[in-house]
């Protein structure tokens, strides 16, 4: 065995010993074990330190495995220092705090030890691929290459080029092809010294081979590699061939106009060991979160005793959600200069076309349909306008065509309140991406405030950890992030509706029309205004305005009971007048405007015009099919995800349920386009098991009315919205219309059952603590599943190939961080 390999194994043995030591030395017998292990530990530290110095100074080379000692020695020092610091904890920490400090330090030491060992032994196992075999390093002679498609042999290496038109003429389509013979050595790795041009970030290379077990022809479709121009390690492909390799054939995927240069091709180059501090810190943060959630005394306390802590934590959670939205929008910014981004001289259907129309005093758009469009037998028929991406006539996509004029189907609230005033004041059109961001930020803040108000009113005895877990699930599953990932006028409408709905719901709770406290006329007026504006943003949200009427009715009952009991709160004769005026006038005004708007365009107060859309389907002739409704409900709510061995480790297949008809699916090519909401938000399972039990065990005198509110607001209204989507097909951007409403209703049932148990005076304290543990662990699992599934869906939803190269670079870094076997 070579000396450098022997040193390598001694280092790995030392690290493994330190992992074992960290568990033994922090165990129940740590005092007795410390004396026995100290000598070995000091020897281990000295050995690792000496090797670290030798490698850092370049004296020692560990079989070309670079990066092994960069973090190994600092890690051992840190772990040993924490262990030593633990010994003096009793000198300045007393009582319960000492026990907590010892518990956390024990967990930190053990977790770091395991993670570093995993980093060296598991996450970098490819670095040991060539150690035990006879794999001589060899540079292949590129001058002997047999060049086929899009490949040219030059003195500087292989030039690979895909000129314009090549994809149509070449039988190999988008592949550059070449092969080389005379390898005649065992091959464990192949290194590509590839130079990429034209902003190419990642290049796929497929390799066919002929070895001793299959020498007459090539074995095909047996492996590939993605060479990232910003990741040197990605240029080395791991190979598992048998015996000597005789010849190799390479297929390089190229885009039109792309240029590549392969200056060298080497085999059996060792894979460098790259100690990823980011990966260690990420996994450590996940482990710390789980440990803290399970062991924190603060999170186990009741919300009523930790209000300040919960409010601060809620603001941090919402701030993280806002940061995610901002990060998504930053990749679609119109300009690197923020000020310049707000100086748009053109826009889309909402930000420009409707703005210009309103400024000219008309509801129809300024541009007129062309004669060729109007000459069609049926202009609403997509196949007559064009098909397969080729337009036969010129027309405006997804606009309404009625009586020879163009109109817009989308709600006018964002136009009247934001886009039109901005253009009148500045002369520029408001950027859609920042509009979506603003709507999303306000909506997330309102959603967080709504949830915390809901908790403070009815679930004060809930553990703080369960409260914060519920907030994270509601905000992360809301689906508003998809609007920021692809901010177009569709998403602007959805985000604006989300903002007004959450604001309206929050002000409705704060108005005290239900629950304790005096009814606030001002807040009720704000609630009605916001909910009415939500309808002017998205007509389908009118169902929540209908649901609001049941809350308003609850306020009427509340006033009636107060008067009947002789209380002075609502004795004023003018109070009911103010109440009904605040509750109903905003709906009357906005509803009247919408009816006037509809009548002025289509001659009917109830005609919103969607059937006149110039889109993929002819809505004037499309028929209702219950199968289409079931497709939407299944994929939005029940489509089961599957775990797969590649990042982001989750996929789902959209299910058409054998409908034998046309059903539109937005971004069908994305593997996680449809993950059932019931899996992303596990509390939704409560709808299947808890409603009847929660109703029967509730001691609330208004439990029938409260259950009615839950059914209407959190079940009936969202389901009707889901049913109404059948005509438009499936698009994940519709989630903010119904997702958070359904989740908050399920949490009501989960929390209500917990409240019933806690309020039962006959329940023993031990049983209460057991129930506390159950709900905390259930919410912890729910958070972890929510983050995994939602993150996978959001990651795949954003079609990186059509966005900025910078985003693809960052996405590749994340992907390679977890796909350590590549």
Q: What tens digit of pLDDT does each residue of 225-257 get?
A: 999 888 888 899 999 999 999 999 999 988 888
For 104-130, the pLDDT digits (tens) are 888 888 898 888 888 888 888 888 888
Provide the β-strand partners of residue 261.
159, 195
Greater model confidence, 74 or 332: 74
Buried-state track 327-365, b at ≥16 Cβ within 10 A, e below 16: ebbebbeeeeeeeeebebeebbbbbbbbbbbbeeeebbb
Contact between residue 247 and residue 210 where contact means Cβ atoms under 8 Å apart: yes
Q: What is the pLDDT of residue 764?
A: 45
pLDDT of residue 174 exceeding 90, the answer is no
Contact between residue 501 and residue 509 where contact means Cβ atoms under 8 Å apart: no
Alpha-carbon dihedral 713, 714, 715, 718, rounded to 10 degrees:
80
pLDDT of residue 151 exceeding 70, the answer is yes
Alpha-carbon gap, residue 277 to 281, rounded angstroms: 6
At residue 368, the 3 state secondary structure works out as coil
Cα dist. 681→161, 443, 471 in Å?
A: 48, 19, 11
Q: Which helix (H) or strand (E) holds 552?
A: helix 542-564
pLDDT of residue 539 exceeding 70, the answer is yes
Q: Which two tokens stand for residue 318?
A: 């919402």
- Phi then psi for residue 344, to 5 deg, are -80, 130
Provide the β-strand partners of residue 391.
386
For 707-753, the pLDDT digits (tens) are 899 999 999 999 999 999 888 889 999 999 999 999 999 999 998 88
β-pairing, 224-228 vs 175-186, is unpaired
pLDDT of residue 157 exceeding 80, the answer is yes
Alpha helices in 511-607 (DSSP H): 521-537, 542-564, 574-602
For 557-583, the pLDDT digits (tens) are 888 888 777 776 777 878 889 999 999
DSSP state of 302: B
Which burial class, exposed, middle or buried, applies to 665 when counting CB atoms under 10 A from its CB (0-12, 13-18, 19+)?
middle
pLDDT of residue 663 exceeding 60, the answer is yes
At residue 208, the 3 state secondary structure works out as strand
* Angle CA 652–784–23, to nearest 5: 125
At residue 270, the 3 state secondary structure works out as coil
Q: Which two tokens stand for residue 413?
A: 């609230």
Listed in sequence order, the residues at least 6 apart from 820 whose beta carbon sits closer than 8 Å to its beta carbon are: 122, 123, 124, 125, 126, 279
Q: How confident is the model at residue 277 (pLDDT cuts 50, 70, 90)?
A: confident
Buried-state track 209-224, b at ≥16 Cβ within 10 A, e below 16: bbbeeeeeebeeeebe
pLDDT of residue 168 exceeding 70, the answer is no
Please name which of 387, 411, 385, 388 lies closest in space to residue 396, comparing C-alpha atoms: 385
Contact between residue 252 and residue 175 where contact means Cβ atoms under 8 Å apart: yes
Alpha-carbon gap, residue 650 to 789, rounded angstroms: 7
Q: Which two tokens stand for residue 40?
A: 């070995």
Q: How confident is the model at residue 762 (pLDDT cuts 50, 70, 90)?
A: very low
Greater model confidence, 39 or 37: 39
Which burial class, exposed, middle or buried, applies to 594 when counting CB atoms under 10 A from its CB (0-12, 13-18, 19+)?
buried
pLDDT of residue 186 exceeding 80, the answer is yes
């Amino acid at each position: 065995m070579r000396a450098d390999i022997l040193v390598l194994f001694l280092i790995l043995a030392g690290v493994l010993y330190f992992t074992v030591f960290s568990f033994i030395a922090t165990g129940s017998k740590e005092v007795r074990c410390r004396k026995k292990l100290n000598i070995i530990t000091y020897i281990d530290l000295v050995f690792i330190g000496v090797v670290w110095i030798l490698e850092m100074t370049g004296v020692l080379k560990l079989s070309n495995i670079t990066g092994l000692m960069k973090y190994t020695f600092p890690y051992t020092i840190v772990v040993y220092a924490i262990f030593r610091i633990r010994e003096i904890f009793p000198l300045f920490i007393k009582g319960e705090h000492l026990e907590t400090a010892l518990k956390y330090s024990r967990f930190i030491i053990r977790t770091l030890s395991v993670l570093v060992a995993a980093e060296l032994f598991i996450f970098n196992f490819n670095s040991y691929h060539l150690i035990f075999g006879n794999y001589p390093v060899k540079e292949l002679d590129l001058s002997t290459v047999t060049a086929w498609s899009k490949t040219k042999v030059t003195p500087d290496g292989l030039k690979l080029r895909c000129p314009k038109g090549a994809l149509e003429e070449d039988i190999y389509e988008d592949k550059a092809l070449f092969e080389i013979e005379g390898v005649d050595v065992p091959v464990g790795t192949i290194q590509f010294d590839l130079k990429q041009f034209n902003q190419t970030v990642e290049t796929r290379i497929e390799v066919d081979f002929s070895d001793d077990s299959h020498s007459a022809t090539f074995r095909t479709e047996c492996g590939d590699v993605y060479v990232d121009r910003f990741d040197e390690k990605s240029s080395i492909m791991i190979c598992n061939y048998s015996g000597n390799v005789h010849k190799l054939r390479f297929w390089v995927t190229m885009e039109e106009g792309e240029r590549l240069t392969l200056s060298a091709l080497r085999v059996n180059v060792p894979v460098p060991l790259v100690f990823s501090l980011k990966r260690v810190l990420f996994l450590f943060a996940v482990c710390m979160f789980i440990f803290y959630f399970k062991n924190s005394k603060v999170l186990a306390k009741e919300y009523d005793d930790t209000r300040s802590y919960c409010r601060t934590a809620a603001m941090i959670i919402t701030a993280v959600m806002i940061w995610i939205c901002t990060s998504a929008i930053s990749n679609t910014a119109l300009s690197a200069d923020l000020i310049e981004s707000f100086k748009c001289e053109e826009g889309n259907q909402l930000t420009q076309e409707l703005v210009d129309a309103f400024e000219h005093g008309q509801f129809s758009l300024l541009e007129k349909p062309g004669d060729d469009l109007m000459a069609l037998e049926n202009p609403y028929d997509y196949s007559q306008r064009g098909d397969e991406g080729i337009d036969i006539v010129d027309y405006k996509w997804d606009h309404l065509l009625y009586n020879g004029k163009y109109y817009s189907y989308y709600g006018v609230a964002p136009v009247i309140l934001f886009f039109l005033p901005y253009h009148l004041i500045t002369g520029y059109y408001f950027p859609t991406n920042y509009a979506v961001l603003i709507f999303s930020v306000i909506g997330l803040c309102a959603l967080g405030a709504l949830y915390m108000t809901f908790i403070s009113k009815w679930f004060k005895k809930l553990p703080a950890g369960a409260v914060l877990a519920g907030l994270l699930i509601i905000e992360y599953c809301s689906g508003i992030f998809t609007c920021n990932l692809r901010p177009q006028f569709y998403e602007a409408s959805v985000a604006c509706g989300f903002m007004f709905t959450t604001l309206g719901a929050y002000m409705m709770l704060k108005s005290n029309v239900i629950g304790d406290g005096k009814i606030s006329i001002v807040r009720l007026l704000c609630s009605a205004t916001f909910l009415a504006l939500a309808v002017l943003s998205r007509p389908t949200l009118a169902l929540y305005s209908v649901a609001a009427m049941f809350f308003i009715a609850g306020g009427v009952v509340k006033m009636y009971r107060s008067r009947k009991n002789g209380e002075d709160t609502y004795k004023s004769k003018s109070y009911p007048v103010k109440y009904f005026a605040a509750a109903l006038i905003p709906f009357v005004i906005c509803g009247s405007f919408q009816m006037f708007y509809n009548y002025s365009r289509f001659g009917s107060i109830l005609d919103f015009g969607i059937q006149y859309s110039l889109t993929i389907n002819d809505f004037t002739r499309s028929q209702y099919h219950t199968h289409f409704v079931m497709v939407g409900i299944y994929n939005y709510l029940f489509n089961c995800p599957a775990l797969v061995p590649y990042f982001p480790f989750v996929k789902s297949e959209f299910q058409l349920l054998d409908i034998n008809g046309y059903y539109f699916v937005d971004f069908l090519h994305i593997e996680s386009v449809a993950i059932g909401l019931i899996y992303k938000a596990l509390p939704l399972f409560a709808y299947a098991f808890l409603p009847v039990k929660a109703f029967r065990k509730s001691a609330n005198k208004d439990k029938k009315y409260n259950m009615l509110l839950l059914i209407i607001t959190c079940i009936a209204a969202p389901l009707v919205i889901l049913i109404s989507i059948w005509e438009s097909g499936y698009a994940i951007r519709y989630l903010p219309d119904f997702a958070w409403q359904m989740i908050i209703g399920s949490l009501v049932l989960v929390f209500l059952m917990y409240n019933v148990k806690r309020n039962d005076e006959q329940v023993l304290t031990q049983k209460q603590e057991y129930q506390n543990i159950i709900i905390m662990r259930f919410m912890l699992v729910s958070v972890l599943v929510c983050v995994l599934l939602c993150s996978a869906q959001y990651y795949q939803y954003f079609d990186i190939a059509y966005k900025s190269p910078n985003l693809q670079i960052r996405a590749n870094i994340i992907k390679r961080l977890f796909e350590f076997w590549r």
